[in-house]
Amino acid sequence: MHDLIIVGGGPAGAAAAVYAARKQLRTLLITHEWGGQSTVSGDIQNWIGTPSISGTELAASLKKHVESYQGDFFAILASVHAASIETNDCVRVTDAAGMVHEAAALLIATGANRKKLDIPGAQKFDQKGLTYCASCDGPLFTGQDVVVIGGGNAGFETAAQLLAYTKSVTLLDRGAHFKADEITVQKVIAHPHMKAFNNAEPLEVLGEKFVSGLAWKNTVTGEESRLPVTGIFVEIGLVPNTAWTGTVVEKNHLGQVVVEPRTQKTSHPRIWAAGDCTDSLYHQNNIAAGDAVRALEDIYKTLKTT
């Protein structure tokens, strides 16, 4: 019987694990991989305290830090997915191998996966000019022409961020109307270096070693065009890794776990959640780590006072 089970080996899970170990909570960390979404990034420049680090280096660093606390109080179950949750007088997590693990509390930190652009060339040029994280990679495209794919708030917020240092930004949205807030749309479109198109279907990512352009089609007129860009930023949504939680905790229409922002508590009194799997307004590595520390402090307080 553990005090705490943490599921996830990204920045949120790793941060919580370090804090749990230092507080000597009897903890089990379950993760099928280390590092989270950032493992695909070639150069992360906003991980606080480290001017530049690759995604694989970040994953290795998190793993090393967490593993340094293995001992009587802290254990790691690696390369294993969590499969389901049950609750009664405790929390029971069943892993993909069928083993059942029990604890007084659970922290869900399983993150999310970005929806991938499914057109020719997208996979080939992933991290070679095509990226899913403007906060991570945007500054690398300073002074360049780039395109944003996605007309929701995330797409327009990405465009606004990129306009601060790129030469120009073009936004393409498949829909007939932008899904972002109207005030945000009008503010971003008003920028002199910004263009945006509706009814725009991406067709192919172009390039040799790196991205050199994007082919797209106007779905109303049928006209096809090519954008001479060196950067493609994809913002077509996130898929939270929460299906395994079933109906034990409340989730929103996107599948994100609903949390109380002051404590990271979920709808279940024994379960907390942190990072990209939650309905928090912003999702980044540093935010995920901070959310997890907040959750861990509340978990510790709850376990020691009840």
Mean pLDDT of 127-145: 91
Residue 198 has pLDDT above 80, yes or no: yes
pLDDT of residue 30: 96
Residue-wise burial string across 85-105, b where 16 or more C-beta atoms lie within 10 A, e elsewhere? beeeeebbbebeeeeebebbb
Per residue in 240-284, pLDDT (tens digit) is: 999 999 999 999 999 999 999 999 999 999 999 999 999 998 888
pLDDT of residue 42: 67
Residue 237 has pLDDT above 90, yes or no: no
Q: Please, which residues have CB within 8 angstroms of residue 158's CB and are 6 or more apart in sequence? A: 134, 138, 148, 150, 233, 235
Mean pLDDT of 127-135: 90
Positive or negative, the CA dihedral 69, 70, 71, 72 is positive
Write the DSSP symbol of residue 127.
T
CA distance 203 to 176: 17
Residue pair 134/237 in contact (Cβ under 8 Å)? The answer is no
pTM of the model: 0.76
Q: How long, in residues, is the chain?
A: 306
Per residue in 80-117, pLDDT (tens digit) is: 888 888 888 899 999 988 999 999 999 999 999 888 99
Per residue in 13-63, pLDDT (tens digit) is: 999 999 999 999 999 999 999 998 888 676 787 899 999 898 899 999 999
- pLDDT confidence bin for 188, thresholds 50/70/90: very high
**Chain-centre distance of CA 83, in angstroms?**
20
Mean pLDDT of 283-291: 94
Mean pLDDT over each residue of the chain, to the nearest integer:
94
Q: Name the residue type at position 290.
A: G
Place of tokens 């999702």: 283
Half-sphere exposure of 172 (CA within 13 A, CB side): 23
The interaxial angle of helices 182-189 and 153-162, nearest 10 deg, is 30
Give percent helix, percent strand, percent coil of the chain, each to the nearest 5: 25, 30, 45
The interaxial angle of helices 11-22 and 55-67, nearest 10 deg, is 20
Based on C-alpha coordinates, what's the Rg of the chain? 21
Report which of 161, 45, 136, 154 is spatially closest to residue 146, judged by C-alpha positions.
161
Antiparallel, parallel or unpaired: β 100-108 and 2-7: parallel
